[in-house]
Amino acid sequence: MRNSNWLFDVTETIHSLGIILVAGTIMLVDLRLLGKGLRAEPVSHVVARIVPWTLSGFALMFVTGAWLFASEATKLYRSPAFRVKLILLALVGLNALIFHLTIYRSAAEWDDVRIAPLRARIAGWCSLILWIGIIAAGRSIAYGPGYDG
């Protein structure tokens, strides 16, 4: 793949535009939790209808990302931005896991509330901030030290 520029470019294009599918969709769930969008919809309905899009987008990102990584593994290993991105990805996964295992279990009680309870709002804020961080770290890989060495 390293020797095939167009294959790299196609994969990178899918990977960079795929962020719309992942971050763009989960952002709407976050906004619902924060009471800043889709307020008329029950939280569980928004989660059930949007999260499958996020997950399929994530699968696409994971596959293309792993492919890109394989072609530049040694460069990326040295890139601080890439390490930060991996840590933020782990944190965003942890955040989603905690949300689903704790406060979301009682979602039936606050499904129709316009602004979700504090713990759900904290999860929403964490998700928004972490995804912005992931976008920033991902974009920074191309600029950071270690990449053009």
Partner 1 sequence: MREALFPFFNWLGHTPLAEIIRSSAALIALGEIIHLIGLVLLAGTVLMVDMAMLGFGIRRHPVARIAAELDGWAKAGLVILLVSGPLLLTSEARKCWDASFFWIKMAVLVAAIVFHFAVYRRTALADPPASRIRAGTVAVISLVLWISVALAGKMIGIYGDDLRQPGEPVDLAAAATSRTAIAPASQTGNPPTYRQVSANTAMKTKVKIQRSATEDRTSFRYQAR
Give the footprint of partner 1 on this chain (CB under 8 A). 3, 5, 9, 12-13, 16-17, 19-21, 23-25, 27-28, 31, 37-42, 45-46, 49-50, 53, 132, 135-136, 139-140, 142-143, 147-148
Beta-carbon count within 10 A of 79 CB: 21
DSSP 78-130: H-HHHHHHHHHHHHHHHHHHHHHHTGGGGHHHHTT-SS--HHHHHHHHHHHHH
Q: Cβ closer to partner 1: 102 or 136?
A: 136
Alpha-carbon distance of 45 to 50, in angstroms, equals 8
CB of 98 to partner 1, least distance (A): 23
Q: Cβ closer to partner 1: 119 or 139?
A: 139
Write out the two tokens for 78.
């040295």
Q: Cβ closer to partner 1: 9 or 94?
A: 9
CB of 33 to partner 1, least distance (A): 14
The closest alpha carbon to 91, from 47, 123, 59, 46, belongs to 123
CB of 109 to partner 1, least distance (A): 18
CB of 23 to partner 1, least distance (A): 5
